[in-house]
Amino acid sequence: MHPALAVIFLTLFSGGGFGLMALTAIVNDFQIDGGLNPLQTMIALLVSLAFVSIGLLSSTAHLANPKNAWRAFTRWRTSWLAREGVFAVAYYPFAMLYLIWVFFTGHPAALPGLVLANMAALIGLITIFCQGMIYAVLRTIRQWNTPLVPANFYLMGLAIGATILVAIRWATGNPAPALLGTAAALLVLSAVFKGIYYFWISRPAGPTIRTATGFNRLNVRILDPGHTFGTFLTEEFGHTLAPASAHRIKALMYTIAYGVPLILLATVAQSNAAILAILAAVLVVGGIGIERWLFFVEAQHVINLYHGRQHC
């Protein structure tokens, strides 16, 4: 598939923003590491709102006619894309009211504030699910048609949110060992689930030109794709990546998104160096951005079978 930057930014930043909101609510609900003070809560909320806004605004660049974007919200009964949009917009009033509550009262763990925080967190988590289901329900793309997609979206969003929250705690001079451990655990779990996903899509179990044409007992090969130049279909759905390049990029992604941040978090636990916690959060966002690019590039639409591909 063509890796559109607008969709990469949407899934990367909005997922991270919703993950950060969910963890902010959980930390203040259960007072993990003493909970977040008003300043830390407001910083987390502002970062979450900024990330979600970057994601949603970038998504409009993917529309052929952005002025008709409002029509996407009208199909919420049948479309996961419309549901994502509805829940993403519904997130704002609760997150902003919680921000206003903390700003004026200075009590992020008070009951009215926690109600707003948990509503925003719940809506954010539902939005991540809708986002994953947009791809998981597409039976024409084997690499996406799996429950592993929404599971990976959840884990990566929460991993981004946790590392950002760790950076906020250390940058404001308030170390949080339990939160640091949670961030490390989410990074490891996310890396494992992504590895399972990569193993699953590497199996040659998708549709082939033989199953597409119905000649299951014959060797079928397209002799002429029917065009001499690229078309919309080959450009949008036929983007490919050589296996050797894919392996190198995956190794780079694992290093940036998981390996180095885990080392940095371990160092932060020993040295209390805030700059390392901030660097870890930046690397996780960048590394998962690479993963999201690979997620789109490696998806092979079944239509490629009619343009010379033997299997998808």
Q: How many domains is the chain partitioned into structurally? A: 1
Q: What is the mean pLDDT of the chain?
A: 92
**Residue-wise pLDDT tens digits, 248-291:** 999 999 999 999 999 999 999 999 899 999 999 999 999 999 99
Residue 239 lies in a domain: yes
Q: How confident is the model at residue 15 (pLDDT cuts 50, 70, 90)?
A: very high
Residue 207 lies in a domain: yes
Of all residues in the chain, the percent with pLDDT exceeding 70 is 99
- C-beta of residue 154 within 8 angstroms of C-beta of residue 145: no
pTM over 0.85: yes
- C-beta of residue 285 within 8 angstroms of C-beta of residue 167: no
Contacts of 302 (CB under 8 A, 6+ apart): 140, 141, 142, 206, 207, 212, 312
Please give the DSSP secondary-structure letter assigned to residue 29: H
Query: Any idea of the CA torsion for 303, 66, 289, 239, to the nearest 10 degrees?
Result: 20
Please give the DSSP secondary-structure letter assigned to residue 204: S
Residue 212 lies in a domain: yes
Residue 177 lies in a domain: yes
pLDDT at 49 over 80: yes
What pLDDT, on a 0 to 100 scale, did the predictor assign at position 260? 98
Beta bridge partners of 301: 141
What pLDDT, on a 0 to 100 scale, did the predictor assign at position 83? 94
Which candidate, 73, 68, 67, places its Cα nearest to that of 86?
73
Start-end of H helices in 31-147:
38-59, 80-105, 111-136
Range of the domain at 88: 3-305
Residue 312 lies in a domain: no
* Opening angle at CA 223, ends 219 and 225, nearest 5: 120
Q: How confident is the model at residue 89 (pLDDT cuts 50, 70, 90)?
A: very high
Residue 310 lies in a domain: no
List the structure tokens of 111: 């009951």
Backbone angle region of 311, left / alpha / beta, with phi > 0 → left and psi within -120 to 50 → alpha: beta
Contacts of 125 (CB under 8 A, 6+ apart): 18, 22, 154
Residue 108 lies in a domain: yes
- CA 185/CA 197 separation, integer angstroms: 18
The secondary structure element, H or E, covering residue 242 is none
- Looking at residue 153, which CATH number applies to its domain? 1.20.1630.10
